Amino acid sequence: MWTIAKLTIQEMVTKRIFLITVVMTLIFLALYGIAIYFAGQEGAEEVGNSGQGTEVFLMQQFISSQLLGVGLYFSSFITALLAIMSSVSSISGEVASHQIDTWLMRPIARSQFVLGKFIGLAFLLIAYAASLFFAIILLHQGIGADWMSLDFQALQLIKAVSVFVIQPFVLVAFGVLLSTRMSTLNAGIISIILYGAAFIGGFIEQFGAVIEKASLVNIGIVMSLVFPIDSIYRKMTVFLFDTTDNPLSMAQGGMFTSISVPGNIMIGYAVLYGAVAVLFSIYSFNKRDV
Average pLDDT over residues 178-203: 87
The values of phi and psi at residue 30, to 5°, are: -65, -45
Q: Is the pLDDT higher at 52 or at 288?
A: 288
| Whether the Cβ atoms of residue 254 and residue 66 lie closer than 8 Å to each other | yes
* pLDDT value of position 173: 93
Contacts of 174 (CB under 8 A, 6+ apart): 87, 191, 194, 227, 274, 277
* pLDDT value of position 215: 81
**pLDDT per residue as tens digits for the range 224-243:** 888 888 888 888 888 887 65
**pLDDT per residue as tens digits for the range 2-52:** 778 888 887 778 888 788 888 888 998 999 888 888 877 777 676 666 666
| Whether the Cβ atoms of residue 195 and residue 171 lie closer than 8 Å to each other | yes
Q: What is the model's pTM?
A: 0.86
* pLDDT value of position 249: 55
Average pLDDT over residues 272-286: 91
Instruction: Report how far apart, in Å, the C-alpha atoms of 67 and of each of 43, 117, 190, 242, 254 are.
Output: 12, 36, 31, 16, 10
* pLDDT value of position 214: 81
State how far the Cα of 8 lies from the Cα of 64, in Å rounded to an integer: 39
The values of phi and psi at residue 259, to 5°, are: -75, -45
**pLDDT per residue as tens digits for the range 112-156:** 888 988 999 999 999 999 999 999 988 888 876 666 777 778 888
* pLDDT value of position 18: 81
Q: Is the pLDDT higher at 62 or at 27?
A: 27
**Cα dihedral: 87, 89, 92, 93 (round 10):** -140
Whether 283 has a pLDDT exceeding 80, the answer reads yes
Share of the chain above pLDDT 90, in %: 19
State how far the Cα of 15 lies from the Cα of 257, in Å rounded to an integer: 36
Residues in the chain: 290
